[in-house]
Amino acid sequence: METFLSNLSLGFSVALGLQNLGLAFLGCLVGTLIGVLPGVGPVATIAMLLPITFSLDPTGSLIMLAGIYYGAQYGGSTTAILVNIPGEATSVVTAIDGHEMAKKGRAGAALAVAALGSFFAGSVATLVIAALGAPLTRVALMFGATEYFSLMIMGLVLAVVLAGGSVLKAVAMILVGILLSTVGTDLETGDERMTFGLIFLSDGIDFAVLAMGIFGVAEIMRNLAQPESRDVVRKPIGRLLPNREELRQSWAPVLRGTLMGSILGILPGNGAVLAPFASYAMEKKLAKDPSRFGKGAIEGVAGPESANNAGAQTSFIPLLTLGIPGNAVMALMVGAMTIQGIIPGPQVMTGNPSLFWGMIASMWVGNLMLLVINLPMVGLWVRLLKVPYRLMFPAILAFCCIGIYSINSLPTDVMLIGLFGLVGYLLIKCGFEPAPLLLGFVLGKLMEENMRRALILSRGSLSTFITEPISAGLLIVSAVLLVAAIIPNVRKGRDEMFVE
Q: pLDDT above 70 covers what percent of the chain?
A: 85
pLDDT confidence bin for 476, thresholds 50/70/90: very high
pLDDT score at 495:
54
Q: Indicate whether 119 pLDDT > 60.
A: yes
pLDDT score at 148:
82
Higher-pLDDT residue of 39, 372: 372
Please give the DSSP secondary-structure letter assigned to residue 74. H
Mean pLDDT of the chain: 79
Q: Lowest-pLDDT range, 260-274, 356-370, 438-452?
A: 260-274
Determine the Cα–Cα distance for residues 331 and 438; give it in Å rounded to an integer: 7
Determine the Cα–Cα distance for residues 57 and 356; give it in Å rounded to an integer: 14
Residue 440: name the closest of 156, 113, 52 by CA: 156
Higher-pLDDT residue of 52, 389: 52
pLDDT confidence bin for 497, thresholds 50/70/90: very low
Q: Indicate whether 486 pLDDT > 50.
A: yes
- Strands 192-193 and 184-185 turn out to be antiparallel
pLDDT score at 21:
92
Range of 110-124, 127-141, 344-358 with top mean pLDDT: 110-124
pLDDT score at 268:
61
Please give the DSSP secondary-structure letter assigned to residue 354. H
- Do the beta carbons of residue 251 and residue 389 sit within 8 Å? no
pLDDT score at 377:
73
Other beta carbons within 10 angstroms of residue 394's beta carbon come to 10
Other beta carbons within 10 angstroms of residue 318's beta carbon come to 26
pLDDT confidence bin for 403, thresholds 50/70/90: confident
Determine the Cα–Cα distance for residues 402 and 61; give it in Å rounded to an integer: 19
Side chain identity at 475, as an amino acid letter? Answer: L
Mean predicted confidence (pLDDT) in 394-413: 76
pLDDT confidence bin for 236, thresholds 50/70/90: low
Q: Lowest-pLDDT range, 66-80, 179-193, 483-497?
A: 483-497
Determine the Cα–Cα distance for residues 322 and 7; give it in Å rounded to an integer: 19
pLDDT confidence bin for 492, thresholds 50/70/90: low
Angle between helices 2-15 and 353-374 (to 10 degrees): 60
DSSP-based three-state secondary structure for 184: strand
Convert the pLDDT of each residue in 5-15 to its tens digit: 787 788 889 98
- Enumerate residues 6+ apart whose C-beta is below 8 A from 422: 217, 218, 221
Q: Lowest-pLDDT range, 255-264, 344-353, 357-366, 455-464?
A: 344-353
Determine the Cα–Cα distance for residues 118 and 373; give it in Å rounded to an integer: 13
DSSP-based three-state secondary structure for 185: strand
pLDDT score at 256:
92
pLDDT score at 272:
65
Other beta carbons within 10 angstroms of residue 101's beta carbon come to 25
Transcribe 93-122 into DSSP letters. Answer: HHHHHHHHHHHTT-HHHHHHHHHHHHHHHH
Mean predicted confidence (pLDDT) in 39-56: 74
Q: Indicate whether 38 pLDDT > 70.
A: no
Mean predicted confidence (pLDDT) in 125-148: 79
Convert the pLDDT of each residue in 252-295 to its tens digit: 899 999 998 888 887 765 556 678 888 888 888 888 888 888 88
Higher-pLDDT residue of 496, 53: 53
Half-sphere exposure of 314 (CA within 13 A, CB side): 30
Residue 474: name the closest of 464, 466, 485, 483 by CA: 466
| Positions of E strands within 188-244 | 192-193
| Positions of E strands within 186-263 | 192-193
Determine the Cα–Cα distance for residues 22 and 440; give it in Å rounded to an integer: 33
Is the pTM of the predicted complex or chain greater than 0.75? no
Q: Indicate whether 431 pLDDT > 60.
A: yes
Convert the pLDDT of each residue in 182-209 to its tens digit: 888 887 777 888 888 888 888 888 877 8
- Do the beta carbons of residue 360 and residue 11 sit within 8 Å? yes
- Do the beta carbons of residue 216 and residue 48 sit within 8 Å? yes
- Do the beta carbons of residue 287 and residue 297 sit within 8 Å? yes
